[in-house]
Amino acid sequence: MQSHYQQGEQHYVKKEYQKAIDCYTHSIEKNEDLLRATFHRGIAYASLKQWTLAKEDFEAALCFAMTPN
């Protein structure tokens, strides 16, 4: 079975941006692939020209990337 993140990637490739966002959001809620899901959700938001939401996700992804494991 594919993860929500992987499903989001498939929707994004098909330019189904809102479906991709929904999948990435599920991934984030389940704490799966948190950094990648947040970053790619930002890209999907940007594809829909939802700039504020995209910026919020990019900033959150940057914080995740800078946090030591």
CATH number of 17's domain: 1.25.40.10
pTM of the entire predicted model: 0.94
CA dist 41 and 23 (Å) reads 9
As for how many domains the chain has, the answer is 1
Residue 68 has a pLDDT of: 78
pLDDT one-digit tens code per residue, 19-52: 999 999 999 999 988 999 999 999 999 999 999 9
Residue 31: domain span: 4-66
Distance CA 57, CA 44 (A): 10
Confidence of residue 69 (pLDDT cuts 50, 70, 90): low
Written as one string, the DSSP assignment of 16-46 is -HHHHHHHHHHHHHTTSSHHHHHHHHHHHHH
pLDDT tens per residue across span 6-18: 999 999 999 999 9
